[in-house]
Structure 1
Amino acid sequence: MSDALTPQPTTPATPAGATTPSAPAPDGARIIAVTSGKGGVGKTFVSANLAAALTRRGQRVLVLDADLGLANLDVVLNLHPKITLHDVFTGKAALDDAVIAAPGGFDVLLAGSGMVEYSRLTPEVRNQFLSVIQALTPRYDVVLLDTGAGISDVVLFSVSLASEVLIVATPEPTSLTDAYAAIKVLAMQQKRQHVRMVINQAARPGDGRAITSQLQQVLDRFVSTESGRPMRLLHMGDIPADPSVRDAVMRRQLLLLQTPGCPAALAIAQLANKIETTLLSPAA
C-alpha cells in the first residue's frame, strides 16, 4: 500500500475560494463533515445510518446533503421531496419547508440532483449555504454534512464549515490514495490538525486500524500542519463487509432499521457511541 500512497511530484491544485475555512457557525450543533477522497465508498450510506444511530442515542440530528450537484441522499432514504435546497437558494420556498423527517427519526435537508449551477463555488452559493447552516445549527445537537467526494471548491467549502471531519475510505488502493490527497489538502489549506477516519467494507477485524496506521506513516513523512506537527489521523472504527448492506441499499432502506443486528449495523452503532463520547459529551 505504501507505493500506492507515495506522493507524486505534482500537488493538487488549489480550488478557488477554498484556501481558508469559512467563519464558524453560531453556537449550537456540532457540525461534522462526512467526506471522502473518492466516490463510491459508502459515504452517504454511513451518513444516513450514523444519523439514525445517533438519534437512537437521544441526539437531535440533521443530515444536510452538501453534494449540491450530485445529491443522492434522497435515493438512499427512499424520499421524494417536493422542496429541496435548490428551491431555498432560488427563493421559491422557505427553509423550514425544505427540512423533512427521515426514516430513523432524524431530519434531512435534501439537495437537487443534476444542478450544473452548483458545480462551482460562486459567492452566491457560498453565502446562501452559510446562511442555511447558521439558521439550522441552533436547532440540533449534531449536523452531518454529507459532502461530495474529492477536493473541488464546493466540497472543500462544505468541509470548512465543520468543526470535525470524518473521512470514509475503503481498503482499496485507489480509495486510500484519494483519501491521502484529500487529507493533504485539509492540512495545507484548512490548517486542520487532525481528521477522523472510518474504514468501510473492512475484510477483517483490525484492518482499519492497520490501514490508518500506515496512512499516518505516510503523512508523518510528507505532510506537516501549520504547527509543524504531522496531521493526526484518529481511527474511529471499521464497518465490515456485510451482504446486508447491499440488500438495504438496493431496498433503499436504512440498514439500522432493516437488519439492526447485522455486523455492519452493530459497527455503525459503535461508531455513534464513539462520536457521542468523544465529541458530544459535555467534556468533549
Structure 2
Amino acid sequence: MTDALNTPPPSAPAAQAPTGGARIIAITSGKGGVGKTFVSANLAAALTRRGLRVLVLDADLGLANLDVVLNLHPKITLHDVFTGKSTLDDAVVKAPGGFSVLLAGSGMVEYSRLTPEVRDEFLRIVHSLVPRYDVILLDTGAGISDVVLFAVSLAAEVLVVATPEPTSLTDAYAAIKVLAMQQERKQVRVVINQTARPGDGRAITGQLQQVLDRFVSTQSGHPVRLLHLGDIPSDQAVRDAVMRRQLLLTTTPGCPAALAISQLAGKVEETLVGKP
C-alpha cells in the first residue's frame, strides 16, 4: 500500500463538539459500499437491546440512504428542520429495533457542500439532541468531503468501517490520515466487515497501522493509534436482510454476522459509553 494522500485537502472548519449527555460516535468509511449504514442501523438496534437510549442521525446530507435500509418513508427530514418547516421533535421518528432516527433527504444538492448555514443548523440540531440520549451514532457519508469531516469533528469517537478489499483499505487509510492530520485524532476504532476468516480483521488493522506509522505524523508528534473493535463475517443472511430492507438482528438474530454485531455493541458500551 502506498501513501495515498501526499497533500491533504483544505481543512474543514473545526467545530466545538457537544459535551455532556450522549456519547457521539461517528461511523464513517473511506469509500462507499462497505456496509457503513448497515453497521450503523444494526449496532443501534443492538445497543438499544442493552437498555441504552440511542439515536442514529443520517449525516450523509446529500446521498442519504438510512431510510432505505430501515424501510422507512419519512414525511419530515433534516431538510424540513433546516428550513424551519418542521420542528426537530417532529423529524425524530422511531425505527424498527426501538431506536430513534433523524433522516436526511436524498439528492439535496444544496447539502453536498458545507455552507455556513448548513454548518450552523447541523451543529444546533446535534446540540439539541445530546441531552436526550445515551448514544448518538452519526452515519456519515463516505470519503473526506468537508461535510463528512465536519460531521466527524462533532464526535468524541470515530469508527471506520472497511472491508478486506484493497480499494476499501486504501481509502480507509486515506480517511484515517486526514482525521489524524486535520483533527489531531489520536485514536480511531476500526471494524472490518465481510471477513472470510476469524482473525482477518485484526491482521488487516495491524497492516493499516504499519502504513500509518510509516507515512503519517501529526503536528503534535503523536502517531494515530488504530484500535480493532471487531469483525463482521461475510454472511448470506446480511445480503438477505439488506434486500428485504430489514434489520439483521430482527430477521436472523442467531446468524454469525448478527452475533458479531451484538459483540460489537458490548464493546462499544464497555469502552465508549459513559466515558468522560
TM-score range, shorter chain: over 0.9
Question: Which of 7, 29, 43 in structure 1 is aligned with 2:3?
Answer: 7
Secondary structure, counterpart of 2:272 in structure 1:
helix
Is 1:12–1:181's contact at 8 Å kept on the other side of the alignment?
no
**Identical counterparts, % of pairs:** 79
Structure 2 residue aligned with 1:114: 107
1:157 aligns with 2:153: no
Contact 1:84/1:111 (8 A) holds in 2: yes
- Look up the match of 2:186: 193
Q: Distance in 2 between matches of 1:178 and 1:187?
A: 14
Number of residue pairs the alignment of both structures matches: 276
2:127 maps to which residue?
134
Report the Cα distance in structure 2 between the residues aligned to 1:162 and 1:52, rounded to whole angstroms: 20
TM-score w.r.t. the length of structure 1 is 0.95
Superposition deviation, residue 9 in structure 1: 6.9
Q: Secondary structure at the match of 2:149?
A: helix
Structure 1: stretches of 5+ with no match in the other structure:
none
In the superposition, the TM-score normalised over structure 2's length comes to 0.98
1:86 maps to which residue? Answer: 79
Where 1:174 maps in the other structure, the secondary structure is helix
Q: 1:174, 1:250 → 2: CA distance?
A: 24
Equivalent position to 1:214, from 184, 207, 211: 207
Q: What is the rounded CA distance, in whole Å, between the counterparts of 2:186 and 2:20 in structure 1?
A: 21
Cα distance in 2 for partners of 1:236, 1:150 equals 20
Cα offset for 1:276? 0.5
Q: 2:38 corresponds to which letter in structure 1?
A: F
Change in CA separation of 1:9 and 1:79 when aligned onto 2, cut-off 3 Å: closer
Other-structure match for 2:267: 274
Give SS of 2:21's match: coil
Question: Equivalents in 2 of 1:22, 1:114: separation in Å?
Answer: 25
CA distance in 2, matches of 1:8, 1:269: 33
Conserved? CA contact 2:53–2:99, under 8 Å: yes
Is the 2:5–2:174 Cα contact (8 Å) retained in structure 1? no
1:170 is aligned to: 163
1:141: how far off? Answer: 0.2
Q: Structure 2 unaligned segments of length 5 or more: list them.
A: none
- Aligned partners of 2:4 and 2:174 also within 8 Å: no
Question: Which residue of 1 is the match for residue 89 of structure 2?
Answer: 96
Give, in whole Å, the separation in 2 of the partners of 1:259 and 1:227: 46
Work out the CA distance in 2 between the residues paired with 1:77 and 1:91: 25
In 2, Cα distance between equivalents of 1:64 and 1:34: 10
Residue matched to 2:63:
70
Q: What is the aligned-residue RMSD (CA, Å)?
A: 1.1
Q: Once the two structures are superposed, what CA deviation does each residue of 1:149-172 show, in whole Å capped at 9, x if it has no partner?
A: 000000000000000000000000
